[in-house]
Amino acid sequence: MAPTKHDIIVEVIYNLCKDYKPYKKVYADHISQDYRCISILTELSKRKPLKPYPYYPDLWCKYKKDNRISVFEVWDNQTKGACAEDILFSALTPNISDLCIVCIQEYQYDLAKELTEVALNSLYNDEGDLLLDPKDRDRVFIASVPEICLKNYSKLKKYLYKRLEFDK
């Protein structure tokens, strides 16, 4: 079976992350043998204690210096609800540093911008602090992949390298 566009993009990002010096570990669904979920804590109700909830992003990476995390999501045929879920779960991720969303369908780019804007301005923790700090807007990367890049692995890698700022 031929790999899907989603799988190809995940593989390209996985290779970019492996080569990125600040990362100590890269976890990629269906690629890395030791893939594991991110455990986010959720409170079910006031009477029930915090409980770990598994979040399975397409890829996620740990930085060498500290416990910061970069989350990568690749959107292809997700519903609007599934896209919103990705944003919400990434916002709940402890020590999140970067959120990178790669859209295969052109219309998803505007949806990603809209949903991240909502998350940056509207999601609060129990202490009243925003889950994603609006000053961290420069740590949210959204890329819409042009069709021409999907047909050429090296063009796709070069495009994502720049759009997801692996050059910084």
Please work out, in degrees rounded to the nearest 5, the angle formed at the alpha carbon of residue 123 by the alpha carbons of 103 and 166. Answer: 40
Show the tokens assigned to 112.
């990603």
Token pair 């890329």 in the structure block, residue: 143
The topology under which CATH files domain 5-163 is Trna Endonuclease; Chain: A, domain 1 (3.40.1350)
pLDDT band at 12 (very low <50, low <70, confident <90, very high): very high
Instruction: Please tell me which of 33-37, 79-83, 89-93, 164-168 the model is most confident about, judged by mean pLDDT.
Output: 79-83
Edge-to-edge strand list for the sheet holding 96-103 = 23-28, 59-63, 69-75, 96-103, 140-144
pLDDT recorded at residue 31: 82
pLDDT for 13 beyond 80:
yes
DSSP of 31-72? TSTT---EEEEEEEETTEEEEEEEE--SEEEEESSSS-EEEE
pLDDT recorded at residue 67: 84
Q: What whole-number distance in Å separates Cα of residue 67 and Cα of residue 160?
A: 24
pLDDT band at 135 (very low <50, low <70, confident <90, very high): low
Q: What whole-number distance in Å separates Cα of residue 13 and Cα of residue 7?
A: 10
Q: What is the pTM of this model?
A: 0.86
pLDDT recorded at residue 125: 59
Task: Give the residue extent of every domain in the chain.
Answer: 5-163
pLDDT recorded at residue 145: 95
Q: What mean pLDDT comes out for the span 3-7?
A: 90
- Compute the chain's Rg from CA coordinates: 16
What percent of the chain shows pLDDT beyond 90? 42
Query: Mean pLDDT lowest for which of 35-39, 65-69, 101-105?
Result: 35-39
pLDDT recorded at residue 97: 86
pLDDT for 41 beyond 70:
no
- Give per-residue burial for 43-62: e unless 16+ CB within 10 Å, then b: eeeeeeeeeeeebebbbbbb
Count how many residues are written for the chain.
Answer: 168
Which has more confidence, 124 or 95? 95
pLDDT for 100 beyond 60:
yes
Question: Residue 120 is which amino acid?
Answer: L
pLDDT recorded at residue 123: 65
pLDDT band at 93 (very low <50, low <70, confident <90, very high): confident
Q: What whole-number distance in Å separates Cα of residue 160 and Cα of residue 152?
A: 12
